[in-house]
Amino acid sequence: MSDDGNLAARLTDAVRAVDGVSRVFPVQPVRQAAAAALTARPPELLVDVDRSDDDVTVVTAHVSVTDARAAPETLRSVGELLRAALDADGLPPDAVQVVVQAKVVEGP
Amino acid sequence: MTDDPGLPPDSPRPPDSPGYRDDTRRGDLDGHTMEELGDYLDRDRTPRDESIESSPACQLALAGMARLREISWTALTEEAAGQSGRDERWIGRLLDTIKDEIASGREIPVTHPDAAIRLTLSEAAVRGLVRRAGDTLGGVVMGRCTLDGDVVTPGAPVRVDVTASLSYGLSAVDTATRLRERIAGALARHTELVVTSIDIEFDDVLDDGRRS
């Protein structure tokens, strides 16, 4: 798996563990489906790492959040976690864009 | 402003900007149909279908369908009730509404002091939140939900318009008050929208889970 694949897999695991996150959806469902078709246990590349822009690396997570925690709090936790992980990975802070979207707010 | 989920998102981020994805197609269930999702619910979501479970649109549709089935189980099963034709049309309209509202729509911002962190809720997630608030109140079945206003601009006033069916015998005024409070509470908890009004129209009457 590529460096970005490893990074995406690590970030996916980290986002999944955030309090209030019930599910992480694939940002690139076609790519995830292709990976699933190629191997019996595909890596879960649900968080997307996009370096197509020369100036900025865009990391995107699509999540489902639970009603038990206010959605804005959960989204901020996810965004700050991703930002910290990218900082720790050595990416220049001014060359990173983190995008987090709640796609579903699940009921109790 | 009138909401039309078939239009491109009314978002400050242009389509050629990093991270932009157009997933606003009206009623797009990521390759599935409402009938397939209904069958999947019938099978208690087994065997697990990853293409359904990993689709936000399918998850919203399944949640809406499951609640609708709980509420109107009698209507779905009593073919001899004499009203079954009308009930089927009513349920069909509600299913169409659920399908129309699962398109992601606009991106509703959640503020963060770090400009490098962009947080949003999809408009579909917020409509699903409003729908659940009503469907779990008791005595009403939610119909259409519209967020009317510039939801992509923080602080802009937003009006919420909903339609619902009301159980026979309940006070429309009291139920509307309870429904309004419940929707306002859910939106205050899970969004930063500035809701200026919640307009409720009861457009049908239910009798013991069926339309009367």
Chain A, window 42-61: residues with a beta carbon less than 8 angstroms from a chain B beta carbon: 50, 52-53, 56, 58, 60
Distance CA B193, CA A96 (A): 27
ipTM of the complex: 0.91
Give the pLDDT confidence score for residue B11 in this predicted structure: 38
Q: Do B190 and A56 touch (CB under 8 A)?
A: no
Chain B: nearest CA to A3, how far in angstroms?
Answer: 20
Closest listed residue to residue A83, CA positions, set B17, B21, B113: B113
Q: Report DSSP state, residue B80.
A: G
Contact B129, B142 (CB under 8 A): no
Pick B128's closest partner by Cβ from A80, A94, A104.
A104
Average confidence (pLDDT) over B79-96: 67
**Pairing mode, if any, of strands A48-50 and A57-66?**
antiparallel
Give the pLDDT confidence score for residue B184 in this predicted structure: 98
Q: Mean pLDDT for chain A?
A: 88
Q: What is the pLDDT of residues B11-63, one digit of tens each?
A: 334 444 444 344 444 457 888 888 888 889 888 898 888 888 888 999 998 98
Closest listed residue to residue B94, CA positions, set B78, B76, B117: B76
Whether a cis peptide bond, with omega within 30° of 0, leads into A42 is no
- H/E stretch holding B124: helix B123-135
What are the CB-based long-range contacts (under 8 Å, 24+) for B9-16? B9/B104, B9/B105, B9/B106, B9/B107, B9/B152, B10/B106, B10/B150, B10/B151, B10/B152, B11/B106, B11/B107, B11/B152, B12/B152, B12/B153, B13/B107
Q: What percent of chain B has pLDDT over 90?
A: 42
Q: Do A26 and B54 touch (CB under 8 A)?
A: yes
Q: Do A72 and B55 touch (CB under 8 A)?
A: no
Pick B190's closest partner by Cβ from A33, A64, A71.
A71
Q: What is the pLDDT of residues A9-32, one digit of tens each?
A: 999 999 999 999 999 999 877 666
Distance CA B191, CA B204 (A): 29
Give the pLDDT confidence score for residue A83 in this predicted structure: 96
Spell out the residues 6+ positions from residue B177 whose beta carbon is closer than 8 angstroms to its own. none
pLDDT higher than threshold 50 for residue B3: no
Pick A60's closest partner by Cβ from B19, B30, B112.
B19
Q: Do A99 and B124 touch (CB under 8 A)?
A: no
Contact B193, A73 (CB under 8 A): no
Closest-CA residue of B relative to A84 is B117
Q: How sure is the predictor about A95, in pLDDT bands with cuts at 50, 70 and 90?
A: very high
Interface list for chain B against chain A, based on CB atoms closer than 8 Å: 18-19, 21, 30, 50-51, 54-56, 59-60, 63, 104, 107, 110-112, 114, 116-122, 124-126, 128-129, 132, 136, 189-192
- The answer to whether residue A81 neighbours chain B at the CB level (below 8 Å) is no
A85 or B24, which is more confident?
A: A85
Q: Is A96 helix (H, G, I), strand (E, B) or coil?
A: strand
Average confidence (pLDDT) over A81-89: 94
- State pTM to two decimals: 0.81
Q: Do B125 and A103 touch (CB under 8 A)?
A: yes
Distance CA A4, CA A15 (A): 16
